Copies of this chain bind each other. A is one copy, B any other.
Amino acid sequence: MSYAWNSASTRMYRPLLQPDLKLMLAEDDRFGLQQFCEVLNPVIVAEVLQGLDPQSVWRVLASTDIETQAQILEMIEPSQQIELVASIDRQHLSKIIEVMAPDDRVDLLEHMDEEQLESLMPLIAQAERDEIRKLLSYPEDSAGALMTTEYASLPEEISIGEALSRLRQQAPNRETIYYVFVVDTGRRLHGVISLRELIMARPASRLADVMKRDLVSVSVQDNQDDAAKLIARFDLIALPVLDEESRLVGIITHDDILDIVQEEANKDAYLQAGINPLEHSYFSTPLLTIASKRGVWLLFLSMMALVTASVISLLSSQTQSGQTNEPHPSDLHQQLAWFLPLVLASGGNTGSQSATLVIRAMALATMSRRDKYRLAVRELLTGLVLGLGLGLFNWIALQALFGLSPLHAGVVSLTIVMVVTVGSVVGSILPLLFDHLGMDPAIMSNPLIASLSDLFGVFIYYKAATWVHH
């Protein structure tokens, strides 16, 4: 990858260029489309294509050669890639896949369903097919699944001059040539030399005398996280990956690690807020998928809060046994306290989830005003879905486990519906507001959202109880 496009900031190109592109499509301006594909950086092309229907994207891509199509497809995000591969004939797709970078191609194929994959594989050339099957066989989080097989390698007995001329021939098809791996005929790794050291060394020296022999590597089976730690610790551009017999089979490059570090940070942040990690970005994950990834945890936490409620119901009757009579189970005021932690946790937890999703979504991408609006609407809807689900669950549980009347269980459940919905909206809007004001959205911390939600929650809860009581 190298530079292209003049940009002093991280502004988005889509709003700027998509209208032009649509005009070119409407006018069937083939030359314009070709220029669009070939002059701009593939990263930017992919960004501008975002949100376009698959047929239009393929019309744009058809204006250029197969290599450029592959480069652009590599940069398109997974959910749109899947749409695209489903709407093109397999013959053409197999040609593109053959010229894609091995690591990007495996990423794409991993996202396709079994059936699609099996109908596509026979069309791909034998050599690429074998390599794909091999890379697909590595576990999802392993170094093997992340590596590319396009590394630069040389034998150790040649001279520096010879090495440089051989490297020139390899260069076009290699992910990086800045680290050159020195291997024997059995592909066993003997050393490494950087291109910087190569061009500084005397041309007559032997490679074996100049290369470094001690080196850092990972095994195909190692976790991607371990590879990230090594690259970060030693500031590497590429890390060699060895198979079980210590043969060099691939490299992991610095840019892939940046993605891994970000994904890990997202995964940790999601889990920390009780959200099962999303596989794609927030916006390319369907609303109901997000709701289910949050819902399982909220449901589990509701069950924990019901245990807490039963502890309170048990202990609070002991506390006051000395002063008044045993509370009657229909005594609403008494019961309000039992379920207070349940109600408040529901709102606080949902709010924390929303805040985390918003803050992570803003962490490494710039959001347009439209994205922010869309986000708030999505969180409102997700909150409603989660609130209704949790409310219904608790309405049944409170009657079954605590013998509450449908009306009294309804007060608690309706409050849950409301605090969950409001929690979700407040949890997403406050960080957006802070960002808008130029402040760090992360200051709107989970406990702060939870405490605001608590305040709202007790208000609704006791108001609803008063209303039912009269």
Q: Which residues of A contact B (CB under 8 A)?
A: 1-10, 41, 43, 164, 167-168, 171-172, 176-179, 192, 194-197, 199-200, 212, 214-219, 222, 226, 228-237, 242, 254-255, 257-259, 261-262, 264-265, 267-269, 271-274, 297, 300-301, 304-305, 307-308, 311-312, 315-316, 318-320, 322-323, 332-333, 336-337, 340-341, 344-345, 348-349, 352, 355-356, 359-360, 363-366, 440, 442-443, 445-448, 450-452, 454-455, 458-459, 462-463, 465-466, 469-470
Contacts and interface: CB of A to CB of B under 8 A. Distances in A.
A265 B270 CA distance: 12
Contacts of A345: 447, 450-451, 454
A273 B271 CA distance: 13
A1 B450 contact: no
A446 B301 contact: no
A272 B463 contact: no
Nearest to A298: B447
A214 B447 contact: no
A44 to B, nearest CB: 9
B200 A172 contact: yes
A42 to B, nearest CB: 10
B200 A365 contact: no
Nearest to A229: B10
- Top 3 A-B pairs, shortest CB-CB distance: A315-B462, A265-B265, A337-B337
Contacts of A2: 179, 192, 194, 197, 212, 236
17 contacts: A1-B234, A3-B215, A3-B234, A5-B214, A8-B219, A10-B229, A258-B258, A261-B262, A265-B363, A304-B454, A318-B462, A336-B337, A340-B340, A340-B341, A341-B458, A345-B451, A352-B447
Number of copies: 2
A7 B216 contact: yes
A417 B87 CA distance: 62
B462 A305 contact: no
B308 A336 contact: no
Nearest to A276: B443
Contacts of A305: 451, 454
**From A178, A234, A363, residue with most partner B Cβ within 10 Å:** A234
Given A2-B194, A304-B455, A308-B455, A446 B352 contact: yes
A234 B264 CA distance: 20
**From A222, A271, A458, residue with most partner B Cβ within 10 Å:** A458
Nearest to A39: B214
A203 to B, nearest CB: 11
Contacts of A336: 316, 319, 337
A455 B271 contact: no
A194 B230 CA distance: 25
A318 B445 CA distance: 33
Contacts of A355: 272
Given A319-B336, A319-B465, A442 B271 contact: yes
A31 B312 CA distance: 70
